[in-house]
Structures are given as structure tokens and as C-alpha cells.
């Protein structure tokens, strides 16, 4: 798989299928190597990945992440192998345990201990039978990993990790745990806005969905932020640690900081300069395409 240094992480759920395909083709033309799509309450990520892969030529499509509580391991393996074979090796499976409020509160399922649950899931996925045509190469698998124990599991039972909503300092710690050879595909939210007040306001609006989720909150505390930084509107320290904002040159510095800290791939999530969720900020992606 040709996974370059820079990709895009984006919610495509508010784009029509033709518009999502057009966006993927445009990202591919700009030189981005991958498009990461999430799973929440929108499209099925595997069905949508099939559509995006069928409408592109070189772009890797990755799930960032597919929720392990939504399907048993054998079904996930079938989807992974099918998409990898159909696309000529351009599908990257990213799996995660999601969050207790979403799994129990929204889906009504039982949320188990994250690391133990993921370990069992990966073991069952590996053992699951698959009788279809195999892809030419074993398709890669990364897991959402923030804390040390999940990063160790990514090292031992997957091809790498996909940390979300972190910082270059966290990337440095993650690389040390993963070792030199595993993939470290980090997500970085970016705001192409030079005015500090405007940029931080856009960042705070984007962060609201995440601030109450325990897995992120616990990791921010491990990163050295305080409860006072995280709560409420979120302090400048919180915003500046987790978002890259400013002109293109300043955002490039943050991308490079992740790469220097050991990231093998950075997937940037552009926050629209007018706060329009689900609308691609093409100005940002075009400005940063030289890093792709």
C-alpha cells in the first residue's frame, strides 16, 4: 500500500454520494494519499468506502474508525478482504472501541474494558475464516490508540495506530511505544485562519462534541492538560495543543512537528473557515497540498 505522508480525515456524511466521490477525486488530484472516513450515525463506512474506491484510481480509503461494537469480527474481516481485493490494495481498516456514552447510551450495548475488548476482537478477527478471493497482499490494520496499553496492543497485534485529537508531544510518546517500524497515522485538526480569536472560536466549536468523551479527556490529562483547560469553552492551551491554526506556513510547521516526532502519516481534518460542518474547506486543502 502506498500510504504517503499526508492524507485527509473528513466527515462526508453531509455530502451526496456523487459529491463525496467528486471530493475524493479532487483530494487525489491534489496529491493526498488517503481519505479517512469515520463511523458515527451516518453512512456505513464499508459501503461508502466501496463507492469512494470505485470512483478513484490511487487514493487509499481508510476507516477512522470502524466501531468494533457494530459488527462481529468475522464480518469486519470479510469487508476488509473484499474491499482490499476489489480496489487493488487501497483499503486500510482502522478499528476502534469508540466511547462508552455512544456504545451504551446511543446503541444500548454493553461497553467492555477497552484494551481487553480490542485484544479479544483482534484475535477473533485473525482466526475468522474467509473463503473469497484473497487480495494480492495481506491488507493492513490499524487501531485507534491513545493510552500506553492500547498503543502496546497496536504494536503487538496490528500494523500500527491511529491516534485522534492529540499533539506532536503525544506522537513522540506513541512512536516510542510502537517502536520504529509500525505505522503511526495521526489525525490533526487544522484551521486556516490567522486571526487568533477567530481561529480559536472555530476550534472550540469543533471540540464541543469531544470534550465530554472519557477516552479523549483521559488522554488530554495524560498529555499534561488540566481539567480546567478541558472544561467549558476550553482554554487557549487546550486549543493550541490540539489544533493547528494560522496561515499555511504555521500549519505546515505542525504537520512537520508530527513527522519529526515519529508520525508516518498525518491525516489533516480541515475545520471550515466559516464553521460549516460537512463542507470541505478546499482553500485549506489546496494550501497544504504541497506537503502531500
Please say whether the beta carbons of 64 and 187 come within 8 A. Answer: yes
User: How far apart, in whole angstroms, are the C-alpha atoms of residue 157 and residue 141?
Assistant: 9
Average pLDDT of the segment spanning 15-41: 97
For residue 291, what pLDDT is reported? 74
Higher local confidence (pLDDT), 201 or 276: 201
Give pLDDT, residue 275: 82
CA atoms of 163 and 136, how far apart (whole Å): 28
Cβ neighbours, 10 Å, residue 126: 11
pLDDT at 111 over 90: yes
Q: How far apart are CA 163 and CA 262, in angstroms?
A: 13
Residues 6+ positions from 6 with CB-CB distance below 8 Å: 31, 32, 33, 255, 265, 266, 267, 268, 288, 291, 292
Task: Give the confidence band of 116 by pLDDT, cuts at 50, 70, 90.
Answer: very high
CA nearest to 258, candidates 152, 169, 147, 162: 169
What are the pLDDT digits (tens) for 5-16?
999 999 999 999
Residue 274 confidence (pLDDT): 86
Residue 78 clears pLDDT 80, i.e. is over it: yes
Share of the chain above pLDDT 90, in %: 97
Tens of pLDDT, residue by residue over 117-173, are: 999 999 999 999 999 999 999 999 999 999 999 999 999 999 999 999 999 999 999
Structural domains of the chain ordered from first start? 6-196+245-291 (3.20.20.30)
Q: Would the pLDDT of 276 be above 90?
A: no
Q: What is the mean pLDDT of residues 55-69?
A: 98
Residue range 51-79: mean pLDDT, rounded: 98
CB atoms < 10 A from the CB of 85, how many? 16
Q: Are 10 and 272 in contact (CB under 8 A)?
A: no
pLDDT in tens, 216-238: 999 999 999 999 999 999 999 99
Nearest-angstrom CA–CA distance, 10 and 45: 12
Over residues 25-36, the mean pLDDT reads 98
Name the pairing type of β-strands 141-143 and 183-192. Answer: unpaired
Query: Of 201, 197, 229, 199, which is closest to residue 216 (Cα–Cα)?
Result: 229
The distance from CA 15 to its chain's CA centroid, rounded to whole angstroms, is 19
Do the strands 91-96 and 66-67 form a parallel or antiparallel pair, or are they unpaired?
A: parallel
Mean pLDDT of 92-121: 96
Would you state the cell numbers that stand for residue 55, as one nine-digit string? 470512483
pTM as predicted: 0.97
Question: What cell does 152 get?
Answer: 502496546
Amino acid at each position: 500500500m502506498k500510504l504517503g505522508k499526508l492524507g485527509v480525515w473528513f466527515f462526508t456524511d453531509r455530502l451526496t454520494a456523487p459529491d463525496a466521490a467528486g471530493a475524493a477525486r479532487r483530494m487525489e488530484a491534489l496529491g493526498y494519499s488517503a481519505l479517512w472516513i469515520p463511523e458515527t450515525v451516518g453512512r456505513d463506512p464499508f459501503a461508502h468506502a466501496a463507492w469512494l474506491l470505485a470512483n478513484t484510481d490511487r487514493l487509499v480509503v481508510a476507516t477512522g474508525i470502524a466501531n468494533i461494537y457494530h459488527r462481529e469480527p468475522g464480518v469486519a474481516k470479510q469487508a476488509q478482504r473484499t474491499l482490499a481485493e476489489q480496489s487493488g490494495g487501497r483499503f486500510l481498516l482502522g478499528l476502534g472501541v469508540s466511547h462508552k456514552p455512544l456504545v451504551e447510551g446511543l446503541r444500548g450495548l454493553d461497553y467492555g474494558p477497552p484494551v481487553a475488548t480490542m485484544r479479544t476482537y483482534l484475535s477473533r478477527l485473525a482466526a475468522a475464516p474467509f473463503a473469497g478471493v484473497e487480495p494480492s497482499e495481506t491488507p493492513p490494520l490499524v487501531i485507534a490508540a491513545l493510552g500506553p496499553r492500547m498503543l502496546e496492543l497496536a504494536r503487538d497485534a496490528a500494523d500500527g495506530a491511529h491516534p485522534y485529537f492529540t499533539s506532536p508531544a503525544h506522537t513522540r510518546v506513541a512512536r516510542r511505544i510502537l517502536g520504529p517500524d509500525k505505522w503511526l497515522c495521526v489525525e490533526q485538526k487544522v484551521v486556516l485562519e490567522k486571526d487568533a480569536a477567530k481561529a480559536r472560536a472555530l476550534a472550540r466549536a469543533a471540540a464541543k462534541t469531544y470534550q465530554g468523551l472519557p477516552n479523549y479527556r483521559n488522554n488530554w490529562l495524560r498529555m499534561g492538560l488540566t481539567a480546567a483547560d478541558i472544561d467549558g469553552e476550553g482554554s487557549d492551551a487546550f486549543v493550541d495543543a490540539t489544533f493547528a491554526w494560522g496561515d499555511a506556513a504555521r500549519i505546515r510547521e505542525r504537520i512537520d512537528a508530527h513527522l519529526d516526532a515519529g508520525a508516518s502519516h498525518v491525516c489533516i481534518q480541515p475545520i471550515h473557515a466559516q464553521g460549516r460542518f460537512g463542507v470541505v474547506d478546499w482553500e485549506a486543502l489546496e494550501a497544504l497540498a504541497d506537503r502531500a
